[in-house]
């Protein structure tokens, strides 16, 4: 089975990125054909600072490598190193109904906020469809917010196949229930755009500040707490197995629990969880040439697969005169 997903380098990667996507992908690479990429073309719809984009793209690559993406096993690449994806986008544009894109959440949200929506933002889902269809991906592991985009990809692929004959694989979306939405510091979905993130590789002081600022309710110490509605509990749970969750729940239900103590504990848990990866990340950050070589190899391997689907699509629409 081919499994594909990507992350935008529009800021430092955080726990939401890690649990909703990165960790799942790293686990999948053992037994599946994995396509994992840093989505810098899409980031252009929101990032207009070239140095920032360059830096974040490089750091996202280092994060993935440090956390365990194996460039030998997986197809690990940067979106813009595969120019075929923009060509495929053009082919897909011509079977994509305007109305389908007008129903897009991110486009509608921006418009509703009064942000001038440009063509890049409007056409964002078509580029995402090309990302997925170019390699014949069967499964796309994402967070809940990307569900609609994968559904649009399916619609576009079906329409293309109907119009030009069987060309693309129709992908399935995969959103496990327990990680559908990872909450941030304030309980809303953890997202760069809400400013409520906990970064994977933050230094300890920053991490401490963030964890201490997780919003909790004002239940007095001597009363039992409600784990079901507690944001701190939800974030802590990401790091716990079934048994650990049960224990934490029992502590919540007994009087006397202090949120401040739980936060201090969580700080150490997060710090220790990512500890084994910190040196490796440091190594990659300081060895740019090696990172570039790895990404060149990834692009080469990936383009070979993409070329098969693109050649077929070019033929089926009649570009090969
Ligand atoms: N839109 C996705 C996000 O912001 C990123 C993305 C682009 C993606 N292309 C993709 C995810 C293809 C999965 C598959 O999170």
pTM of the model: 0.95
Q: Which residue has the tokens 């054909």?
A: 33
Same domain, 157 and 247: no
Give nearest CA residue, ligand 1 atom 13. 5
Task: List per-residue pLDDT tens for the chain, 321 residues long.
Answer: 999 999 999 999 999 999 999 999 999 999 999 999 999 999 999 899 999 999 999 999 999 999 999 999 999 999 999 999 999 999 999 999 999 999 998 889 888 888 888 999 999 999 999 999 999 999 999 988 899 999 999 999 999 999 999 999 999 999 988 777 899 999 999 998 899 999 999 999 999 999 999 999 999 999 999 999 999 999 999 999 999 999 999 999 999 999 999 999 999 999 999 999 999 999 999 999 999 999 999 999 999 999 999 999 999 999 999
Q: Are 142 and 293 in contact (CB under 8 A)?
A: no
Q: Are 317 and 165 in contact (CB under 8 A)?
A: no
Cα 206 to ligand 1 centre (Å): 28
Q: Rounded distance, CA 37 to CA 295, Å? A: 10
Give nearest CA residue, ligand 1 atom 14. 5
Buried b (16+ CB within 10 A) or exposed e, 90-126: ebbeebbeeeebeebebbeebeeeeeebeeebbbbbb
Ligand 1: atom nearest CA of 145 is: 15
Same domain, 219 and 149: no
Ligand 1: atom nearest CA of 137 is: 14
CATH number for the domain spanning 44: value is 3.40.50.620
Cα 128 to ligand 1 centre (Å): 6
Same domain, 250 and 138: no
Cα 3 to ligand 1 centre (Å): 13
Pocket test for ligand 1, best of 142, 192, 302 (most atoms within 8 A of CB): 142
Catalytic residue numbers read 110, 189, 192
CATH number for the domain spanning 271: value is 1.10.240.10
Domain total in the chain: 2
Same domain, 86 and 163: yes
The answer as to whether 311 is a domain residue is yes
Ligand 1: atom nearest CA of 128 is: 9
Domain assignment of residue 156, given as a range: 2-181+287-317
What is the CB < 6 Å shell around ligand 1? 4-6, 8, 39, 42, 128, 131-132, 140, 142, 146, 149
Cα 160 to ligand 1 centre (Å): 20
The answer as to whether 190 is a domain residue is no
Instruction: Quote the DSSP letter at residue 8.
Output: -
What is the tally of helices (H) and strands (E) in the chain?
14, 5
Residues ≥6 apart with Cβ < 8 Å to 135: 2, 4, 35, 75, 302, 305, 306, 309
Cα 287 to ligand 1 centre (Å): 27
């Amino acid at each position: 089975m081919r499994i594909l997903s990507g992350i935008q380098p529009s800021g430092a990667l955080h726990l939401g990125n890690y649990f909703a996507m990165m960790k799942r992908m790293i686990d999948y690479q053992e037994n599946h054909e994995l396509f994992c990429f840093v989505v810098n073309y899409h980031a252009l719809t929101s990032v207009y600072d070239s140095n920032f984009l360059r830096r974040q793209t490089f750091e996202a690559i280092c994060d993935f490598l440090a956390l365990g993406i194996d460039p030998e096993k997986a197809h690990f690449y940067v979106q813009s190193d595969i120019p075929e994806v923009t060509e495929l986008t053009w082919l897909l544009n011509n079977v994509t109904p305007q109305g389908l894109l007008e129903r897009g959440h991110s486009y509608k949200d921006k418009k509703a906020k009064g942000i001038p929506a440009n063509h890049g933002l409007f056409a964002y889902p078509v580029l995402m469809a090309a990302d997925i269809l170019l390699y014949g991906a069967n499964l796309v592991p994402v967070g809940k917010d990307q569900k609609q985009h994968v559904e649009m990809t399916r619609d576009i692929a079906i329409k293309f196949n109907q119009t030009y004959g069987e060309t693309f694989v129709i992908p399935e979306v995969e959103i496990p229930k327990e990680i559908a939405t990872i909450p941030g510091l304030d309980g809303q979905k953890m997202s760069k755009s809400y400013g409520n993130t906990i970064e994977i590789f933050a230094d300890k002081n920053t991490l401490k500040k963030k964890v201490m600022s997780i919003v909790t309710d004002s239940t007095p110490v001597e009363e039992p707490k409600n784990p079901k509605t507690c944001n701190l509990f939800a974030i802590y749970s990401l790091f716990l197995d079934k048994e650990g969750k049960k224990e934490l729940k029992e502590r919540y239900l007994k009087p006397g629990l202090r949120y401040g103590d739980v936060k201090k504990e969580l700080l150490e848990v997060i710090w220790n969880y990512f500890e084994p990866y910190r040196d490796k990340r440091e190594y990659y950050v300081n060895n740019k040439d090696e990172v570039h070589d790895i990404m060149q190899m990834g692009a080469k391997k990936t383009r070979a697969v993409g070329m098969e689907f693109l050649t077929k699509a070019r033929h089926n629409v009649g570009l090969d005169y």
